[in-house]
């Protein structure tokens, strides 16, 4: 982002971004003549030099073109021919945790059908997601598989998804979808049921003081928490907000660890912890051990996703299986159906049934210990 020395956005950059947004949203249509330099200068209260600089950037990027003696016009965005054999895959992360196997599943199906993959990694940033969608609208692609960034939060770049639909570029959500887009094609885990199953398992072992650690800004975290609450209510266990830790993407590497360490240090009564995923469980176990607590002798801990880190130093997490490659395959198959047959031929939403994987990170509590 272009900024001046005092951190403010430069005027030419603000003007360029505003005009680009109008072009992408369709407010300025293909072939339409833009206001003259004088008009833009007056409308935006900037110099003509600032206007020229903004227009030059847009012209270099292909958004507009100039005709000598006639003026500046909005370019027709790239026509999508639907035979490029290119599929874009946008995920929050690429190289770690469950994502390589999800991508592997997508690739195995698409490669067999002669497609190539364009990979994008948002790092769970919604501005980066919007940036990549803008870029992809300029490329000739046949479809998109996308894991939305911070899927629990209202999407502010709906105009880009509407543009995909206008260009008849099908897209499939995986792992989550934005609140206002639940009717769009998606492949999801039944995370509410998964959260319920793993909490119910702890209750069946005799646990009653069950803490929870959940991610606040994505759909999975909200649904896993919902399942946790359902299992507690079903067992007649009072929900205690002080026993629940919420964290966001930006503080995922430290907040769960610090919060559980603080709870344990306060001698907070807890005999089990339900964790958002296996990565979180590893942090929670480290925090508990540093407070002198043993897993599972003192505290039972569960994960979610059955990832490669679920088994460390002889401790096998009790977790929920995540069919990583299968999810990727199903998303690719659904996208191909949409490409070949349109939206009416296949269910638009698929919920994958969770499966409990029992490890050695939980213990049975005897009745006389309750």
10 Å Cβ neighbour count for 316? 14
Looking at 50, 74, 98, which one is the last position of a domain? 74
256 within some domain: yes
pLDDT of 24 above 80: no
pLDDT at 224: 97
54 and 128 share one domain: no
231 within some domain: yes
3 within some domain: no
pLDDT of 207 above 80: yes
Name the more confident of 62 and 278: 278
Q: What mean pLDDT, rounded, does the chain reach?
A: 89
252 and 128 share one domain: no
pLDDT at 78: 54
119 within some domain: yes
Q: Residue 70: which CATH number?
A: 1.10.10.10
Structural domain harbouring 269: 191-322+356-369
pLDDT > 90: percent of the chain: 64
292 within some domain: yes
199 and 172 share one domain: no
Looking at 46, 74, 102, which one is the last position of a domain? 74
Please write the tens of the pLDDT for every residue from 315-329: 999 999 999 899 999
224 and 267 share one domain: yes
218 and 362 share one domain: yes
Please write the tens of the pLDDT for every residue from 130-171: 999 988 988 889 999 999 999 888 888 998 998 888 888 999
Banded pLDDT at 60 (limits 50, 70, 90): confident
pLDDT of 1 above 60: no
285 and 178 share one domain: no
Looking at 48, 74, 100, which one is the last position of a domain? 74
286 and 361 share one domain: yes
User: How is 96-126 classified by DSSP, letter by letter?
Assistant: STTHHHHHHHHHHHHHHTT-EEEEEE-TT-H
pLDDT at 310: 80
Average pLDDT over residues 103-130: 93
51 and 94 share one domain: no
2 within some domain: no
The CA distances from residue 234 to 129, 134, 156, 196, 245, in Å, are: 39, 46, 37, 10, 21
Please write the tens of the pLDDT for every residue from 343-357: 555 557 889 999 999
195 and 133 share one domain: no
Average pLDDT over residues 196-223: 96
Name the nearest CA neighbour of 281 among 265, 260, 303.
303
229 and 278 share one domain: yes
106 within some domain: yes
List of E strands, the chain: 64-67, 71-74, 86-91, 116-121, 143-146, 171-174, 186-189, 210-215, 244-247, 272-275, 300-302, 311-312, 315-316, 319-320, 349-352, 356-357
5 within some domain: no
User: How is 215-231 classified by DSSP, letter by letter?
Assistant: ESSSHHHHHHHHHHHHH
Number of domains in the chain: 3
Q: Residue 237: which CATH number?
A: 3.40.50.2300
121 and 107 share one domain: yes
Q: Which residues contact 126 (CB under 8 A, 6 or more apart)?
A: 149, 150, 153, 155, 156, 157
By residue count, the chain amounts to 370
363 and 221 share one domain: yes
């Amino acid at each position: 982002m272009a900024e001046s020395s005092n951190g403010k956005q430069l005027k030419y950059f603000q003007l360029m971004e505003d005009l680009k947004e109008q072009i992408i949203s369709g407010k300025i249509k293909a072939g339409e003549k833009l206001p003259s330099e004088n008009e833009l200068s007056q409308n935006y209260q900037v110099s003509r030099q600032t206007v020229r600089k903004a227009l030059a950037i847009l012209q270099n990027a292909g958004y507009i073109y100039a005709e000598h003696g006639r003026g500046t016009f909005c370019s027709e965005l790239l026509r999508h021919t639907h035979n490029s054999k290119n599929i874009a895959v946008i995920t929050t992360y690429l190289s770690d945790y469950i994502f390589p196997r999800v991508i592997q599943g997508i690739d195995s199906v698409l490669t067999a059908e002669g497609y190539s993959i364009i990979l994008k990694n948002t790092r769970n940033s919604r501005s980066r997601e919007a940036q990549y969608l803008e870029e992809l609208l300029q490329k000739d692609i046949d479809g998109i598989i996308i894991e939305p960034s911070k899927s629990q939060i209202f999407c502010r770049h709906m105009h880009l998804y509407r543009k995909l639909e206008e260009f008849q570029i099908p897209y499939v959500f995986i792992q989550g979808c934005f609140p206002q887009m639940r009717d769009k094609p998606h492949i999801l885990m039944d995370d509410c049921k998964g959260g319920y199953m793993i909490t119910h398992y702890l209750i069946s072992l005799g646990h009653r003081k069950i803490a929870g650690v959940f991610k606040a800004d994505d759909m999975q975290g909200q649904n896993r928490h919902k399942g946790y609450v359902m299992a507690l209510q079903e067992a007649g266990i009072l929900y205690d907000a002080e026993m629940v830790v919420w964290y966001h993407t930006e503080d995922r590497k430290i907040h769960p660890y610090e919060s559980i360490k603080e709870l344990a240090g306060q001698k907070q009564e807890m005999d089990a912890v339900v964790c958002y995923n296996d990565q979180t469980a590893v942090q929670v176990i480290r925090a508990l051990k540093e407070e002198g607590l043993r897993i599972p002798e003192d505290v039972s801990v569960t994960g979610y996703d059955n990832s490669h880190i679920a088994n460390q130093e002889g401790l096998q997490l009790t977790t929920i299986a995540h069919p990583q490659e299968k999810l990727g395959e199903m998303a690719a198959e659904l996208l191909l159906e949409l490409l070949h047959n349109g939206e009416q031929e296949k269910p638009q939403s698929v919920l994958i049934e969770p499966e409990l994987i029992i490890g050695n990170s939980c213990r049975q509590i005897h009745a006389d210990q309750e």
